[in-house]
Chain A
Amino acid sequence: MGRKLLTEHVNVEGIETFEVYRKHGGYRAVEKALKTMTPDEVVDEVKKSGLRGRGGAGFPTGLKWSFLAKPEGVPRYLVCNADESEPGTFKDRYLMSKLPHLLIEGMIAGSYALGARTSYIYIRGELLYVLRILEKAIAEAYAAGFLGENILGSGYSLDLHVHPGAGAYICGEETALLESLEGKRGNPRNKPPFPAVQGLYARPTVVNNVESIATVVPILNLGGDEYAKIGVGKSTGTKLFSACGHLNKPGIYELELGVPVEEFIYSDEYCGGIWKGRELKAVVAGGSSVPILPKELILKTAAGENRLMTYESLSDGGFVTGTMLGSGGFVAMDETTCIVKNTWNFSRFYHHESCGQCSPCREGTGWMEKVLHRLEHGHGSMHDIDLVVSVAKQIEGNTICPLGEAAAWPVAAAVRHFRDEFEWHVKHPHEATRPGAVYQGAGVLA
């Protein structure tokens, strides 16, 4: 059993209230920071911890903080990205609804480190009930003197607000999120300028994922160096994984980075194996955007080593034989899963969520969905398989924001690893569309 730094007290009754959270060591990190540390010292601890952004990109959080421009007399902002929408990912919703004060504590410490006097939590609109939980917790924190004027007599003041989105995956992209927070359409901005220079209201801004901000709390409590000792190599600390799909025990698991993938899937401590006694067929390991891998490549790298739940191990082999840790959205698919259908489903998602601003994504995501729909429904040709890969390639790298890649990667990877299944759909359109029929290799029907 690994250490739990975020979710240690998650099952304590009433932990969502200030009183109980405080009783279990809550707000110690804020006290330590505001009473004994300078803002730069807080940034240094986060740097030392090796914390990498938990939203999906894995960029070092401390480094991101150190890029923030700090012109005299200009307000700056910390914005929490709680727009969790990446298919397969549901850890932030859990964290916020169970441990709202952990996020608030992280926001106070982070805002202090960055010199922000007003901070926002941008939460996806579907989670209005979580917004209520956060607002209630924020009110408690104000009442207890941890928010508002002159917190703990330190001279530091902070206002914290929650802001709802209204149904748009793209607002998880940080500049689209800022546009949305300004009351506009969620169109990602052209970069440069980056948010660290011109973010919210054209002021210097840092946007961090919920889990990244919450993790600042154990980092300050332990010290950055101690935190960095947990995990493997550059994958330090613990991370929340949200496991879903055909698992016996789907749910949210906090792991010390470095647990073998095989153990995570099959151990009773974690996901408890594949449901209904079936075989594992494939895994999307880090949210729908990352390349899908067949069983043999998700359990072991191409070199035959055990694949671990770390940034490095999951990306071992690049996109040829590897994938990415991404947001930690772990989707397992059993042997009855139709990869073509799943790929079409994901491409429909990206088509639906494209903001429509730049031409390769606006036009290309819809095109991919249509071709995949054709393939899935038995009207495709061999040529269509190459076509959809070609369209994916035309989108990838050529768009304003990373949604282009997010849409292209899963399609390219599915054809890369499961081309025979796509071909089978073309060659056997009637079998492919028969309910329950699934390709299992060498033309065998389930």
Chain B
Amino acid sequence: MAKITFDGIEVEVPDGTTILNAARKIGGGVVPPAMCYYTPLKGSGGKCRACLVRVAAGSTKDPRPMPKLVASCITPVQDGMVVENTTSQQVLDVRKGIVEMLLINHPLDCPVCDQAGECDLQNFAFEHGVSTTRYEEERRTFEKIDIGPYVQLHMTRCILCYRCVYTADQLTDGRVHGVLGRGDASEIGTYIDKVIDNDFSGNVIDVCPVGALTDKTFRFKQRVWFTKPMNAHRECSHEKCNGHVTLWYKGKDVMRVTARKDEYGEVKEWICNECRFDKKETTDWILEGPAHVDRSSVISQGHYELPVVNPQIIADLPESTIRDLQQNPPLKLGGLNG
């Protein structure tokens, strides 16, 4: 075990834990933002530099400060380490700079972007950025591409976090998309028109921090903050999918299906394309109750917080589901914005 001090708060974590995960153990406002790191994806992290923190003391053994800010998502803790995040003006200033870098070539088309309201970049910019831009040059643009029947790639919005590449590598046996080109001309793509076609391809939508990979069965159907998330499950025949999902309702209609995510937006269990794209009827699912959105984001503004199913939303809930819910009430939920 290693004991570290993070923003003045002591926390003890197993050896080898990263600084970011130690901060997540503390939770709340001290947790550094992460745009590329994704716990379920091996090798992710280190790229966006949003989570840079200052190590004021390396360890008990070697208490010297680290010369540069370090990416908290990939730097392991050492016993006696002292880390500054929100308590360091340098870190906050650098983070402002990172927001600026990520935005200079971003289209800022949030008003027409499906990701708006649950976009990591939107949240990151809102919380850490400045309200003006110093960038006068033309922005980088790409054509939209359909990669397969379900997913659209809008590269212009991409921040090159590589998450979708790791997802394809680690979830499927035939990755066909990757990072092409170099420098600021890098792009996610298949090079020649190829279809991303495997049973788990839809997960790239869930891991995308921005609106670069969107669900074609949901595009432009609804603003996410007007939809109500409901946890549900079904007996999925796919051996690697256990059918645990979140359904997003507008009125009686299931607008989209996603994997369940934790408070840091990370997928808890991957789901298959059948669950995600083909099962959009309430009757396909056994409802468990409202999903709680923990993150402070637009998406969590319009949510009911009742620990029961709202009959106005789902009028014709199956008898069996109502019985299930009565016997196993969902977790007690906290206040708005978690």
Contact = CB atoms under 8 A, between A and B. Distances in A.
B52, B105, B159, B183 pick with most chain A CB within 10 angstroms:
B183
Given A190-B71, A362-B160, A168 B49 contact: no
A363 B47 contact: no
Interface string A350-394: 011111111110111111001000000000000000010010001
B186 A362 contact: yes
A230 interface: no
A358 B47 CA distance: 4
Interface in B71-119: 71, 74-76, 94, 97-98, 100-102, 104-105
A374 to B, nearest CB: 8
Contacts of A355: 182-183
B121 to A, nearest CB: 11
Interface in A224-271: none
A394 B97 contact: yes
Nearest to B74: A190
Interface residues of A, number: 28
Contact of B49 (A192, A356, A359, A367): A359
A397 interface: yes
A400 B74 CA distance: 11
A224 B75 CA distance: 37
A161 interface: no
A394 B184 contact: no
Nearest to A366: B184
B46 to A, nearest CB: 4
A404 to B, nearest CB: 10
A367 B98 contact: no
Interface string A414-435: 0000000000000000000000
B182 A367 contact: no
A387 B52 CA distance: 23
A358 B186 contact: no
B185 interface: yes
B1 interface: no
A398 B97 contact: yes
A360 B100 CA distance: 9
A3 interface: no
Interface residues of B, number: 32
A359 B135 contact: no
Contacts of A306: none
Interface string A40-51: 000000000000
Contact of B135 (A353, A357, A367, A399): A367
B132 to A, nearest CB: 13
Given A352-B183, A358-B46, A394 B101 contact: yes
A24 interface: no
B45 A398 contact: no
Contacts of A370: 137
A387 B48 contact: no
Given A185-B179, A356-B183, A363 B97 contact: no
Nearest to B99: A359
B323 interface: no
B160 A357 contact: yes
Contacts of B97: 360, 394, 398
B68 A397 contact: yes
B61 interface: no
Interface of A: 168, 185, 190, 192, 351-360, 362-367, 370, 387, 390, 394, 397-400
Given A192-B75, A397-B68, 7 more contacts: A358-B49, A362-B186, A364-B101, A367-B135, A398-B68, A398-B97, A398-B98
